[in-house]
Amino acid sequence: MTTTAPADVRTLTHWVSGAALPGSGDRFSDVTDPATGAVTARLPLASAAEVGDVVAAARSAFPAWRDTSLTKRTQVLFRFRELLNARAGELAELITAEHGKVASDAAGEVARGQEVVEFACGMPHLLKGSATENASTGVDVASIRQPLGVVGIISPFNFPAMVPMWFFPVAIAAGNTVVLKPSEKVPSAALWIAELWREAGLPDGVFNVVNGDKEAVDALLTDPDVKAISFVGSTPIARYVYETGTAHGKRVQALGGAKNHMVVLPDADLDLAADQAINAGFGSAGERCMAVSALVAVGDIADTLVDKIAERARALRTGDGRRGCDMGPLVTRAAQDRVTGYVEAGEAEGATVVVDGRVDTFDADGEGFFVGPTLLDHVTTDMSVYTDEIFGPVLSVLRVESYDAAVDMINANPYGNGTALFTCDGGVARRFQNEVEVGMIGINVPVPVPMAYYSFGGWKNSLFGDTHAHGTEGVHFYTRGKVVTTRWPDPSHRGVDLGFPTNG
């Protein structure tokens, strides 16, 4: 954390009521370019009082936005979509510059976020209630859904655009106003998106960005004007956010960490499985909540599969994401040190390092935070490389004798975000999707991220709360139901009757 700005480093802001707002405090953090290690910006960390002001701005924008017709609200979303299509490349570049992921991966992230905008453009249909005529004689009943008010979104570093976009298009289209607190490691995407909203014609105060750390999060969790919190991050913080937010009367969905298993059965296409293990294990340098980190090889295919994966891993080019490399750096020096620490621990605990990413030649200038693709074999469930979420380019191979042993391993794991099965046997695949205790499952698909019109979310320690992100569950999360029973006066209804009303 710094308090003084080097001369060539930008100072970032918050975004409130349709304009950039400089921080008013003296706490700042550094934003770095992970491929070079250079500090590129300093970020103001909001105080609780500053967060309170941002929430107040969002609160005062709420009544007018709630009462704006659905047609006009969705017209703004359509304009946002068009602008983003035209300028997606700018956003992807910002993501690569602060997160480090390679350009094609950053573009893919923006495209997956855009799918949620497109889903939310259908809000008039999604918000349709139901109505019953003559539920009782002359009495009609209708159900409607209404927005909550100010909603808070707290996002992680690994998807600077897509994760916030899982939430805010739906929240805004449904008539809420938003305060987004992005990860302090990657704040520029959120500020860029805020400007795009202004250009799209979103009224001031409907979408706000407050930058900060724990102090800002705690202020959002305890502010009575914040009605709901969508959080994504590591499991300990997700649990804390869920417990604190709900204790303060809020609706909370808190998505946490992951340990995703990819099971390969003896009848699988091993070349396909090896390709997909590489994509899912090392894409985004393993910094995806849906990354595969545990490859479970069933039966006698393990040696062949490990050879195939190792050959592919050695061919990957790691370096600056702007140079057409396959894999970029980790997000910070601390992340790099943590990941290499796990590899060292795995080796000490008896794992075989088949491909070692702890090398120091990468296609980049400066002092980037690189770890190359790393493949560990003979990993067992008691090793820290298995028990902990590493969040780096480390793929661990665990060998088991049977399908049942693979499923038992997955179900015993405290996380339940994603899993994949590779097989050519439809019967086993069907059993797997039925038996496995995980929220998102891929059959011969390694990173089974649901489309925007389905909902995204894990089980067990990968999600606290009842509601998953986007899809119809997202619409329900950001609205609450009302049922209206109506009778238009008729003289025949007069008369006192204290009995409980029944149908008649």
Residues noted as catalytic: 289
Q: Does 373 bind ligand NAD (CB under 6 A)?
A: no
Q: Which is nearer to ligand NAD, 73 or 470 (CB)?
A: 470
What are 137's two structure tokens? 């004689």
The only residue of 59, 389, 406, 464 in contact with ligand NAD, by rule CB under 6 A: 389
* 3-state SS assignment for residue 415: strand
Query: Is 374 within 8 Å of 355 (Cβ atoms)?
Result: yes
**Which window, 121-129, 189-197, 255-263, 301-309, contacts ligand NAD (CB under 6 A)?**
255-263
Please tell me the count of residues contacting ligand NAD according to CB under 6 A: 27
| Listed ranges 101-109, 180-188, 398-406, 421-429: which one lies at the site for ligand NAD (CB under 6 A) | 180-188
CB 1 within 8 A of CB 7: no
Token output for 303:
């040696």
Contacts of 420 (CB under 8 A, 6+ apart): 260, 261, 262, 263, 276, 280, 292, 441, 442, 443, 444, 445, 446, 447, 448
CA atoms within 13 A on the CB side of 62: 21
Near ligand NAD by CB under 6 A: residue from 100, 160, 175, 256: 256
Q: How far is the CB of 72 from ligand NAD (least distance, A)?
A: 32
Q: How far is the CB of 21 from ligand NAD (least distance, A)?
A: 19
Q: Can you tell me which of 28, 119, 168, 391 binds ligand NAD, judged by CB under 6 A?
A: 391
User: Which residue in the shown chain puts its C-beta closest to ligand NAD?
Assistant: 233
Among residues 295, 302, 316, 284, the alpha carbon closest in space to that of 401 is found at 302
3-state secondary structure of 492: helix
- Does the protein bind ligand NAD through residue 255 (CB under 6 A)? yes
What are the angstrom distances between the C-alpha of 288 and each of 3, 102, 366? 31, 13, 25
Q: Is 158 in the site for ligand NAD (CB under 6 A)?
A: yes
Helix (H) or strand (E) holding 377: strand 374-377
CA of 441: how far to CAs of 109, 195, 261, in Å?
A: 20, 36, 10
If binding is defined by CB under 6 A, does position 318 make contact with ligand NAD? Answer: no
Alpha helices in 300-357 (DSSP H): 302-314, 333-348
- Asked if residue 160 binds ligand NAD (CB under 6 A), the reply is no
Nearer to ligand NAD by Cβ, of 373 and 439: the residue is: 439
Q: Does 314 bind ligand NAD (CB under 6 A)?
A: no
In the list 208, 293, 462, 467, the residue contacting ligand NAD (rule: CB under 6 A) is: 462
Stretch that binds ligand NAD, among 50-58, 136-144, 231-239, 379-387 (CB under 6 A): 231-239
Kindly state whether residue 106 participates in binding ligand NAD, applying the rule CB under 6 A: no
Tell me how far, at minimum, the Cβ of 193 lies from ligand NAD, in Å: 15
Residue 29 CB, nearest distance to ligand NAD (Å)?
10
Task: Find the binder of ligand NAD among 17, 75, 222, 234 (CB under 6 A).
Answer: 234
Place of tokens 């008896």: 350
- Which position among 110, 228, 237, 264 is part of the footprint of ligand NAD (CB under 6 A)? 237
Compute the least distance from the CB of residue 417 to ligand NAD, in Å: 5
The structure tokens 């605990």 sit at: 349
The two structure tokens encoding residue 330: 């980790």
> What is the Cα–Cα distance from 204 to 68, expressed in whole angstroms?
13
- Per CB under 6 A, which of residues 409..438 are in contact with ligand NAD? 417
Is the separation of the CB atoms in 279 and 447 below 8 Å?
Answer: yes
Distance in Å, CB of 155 to ligand NAD, minimum: 6
Among 155, 177, 260, 318, binds ligand NAD (CB under 6 A): 155
What's the Cα-to-Cα distance from 345 to each of 55, 188, 340, 370, rounded to whole Å? Answer: 44, 35, 9, 18
Q: Specify whether the CB–CB gap between 197 and 182 falls below 8 A.
A: no
Site residues, ligand NAD (CB under 6 A): 154-159, 163, 181, 183-184, 213-214, 217, 232-234, 237, 255-258, 289, 389, 391, 417, 458, 462
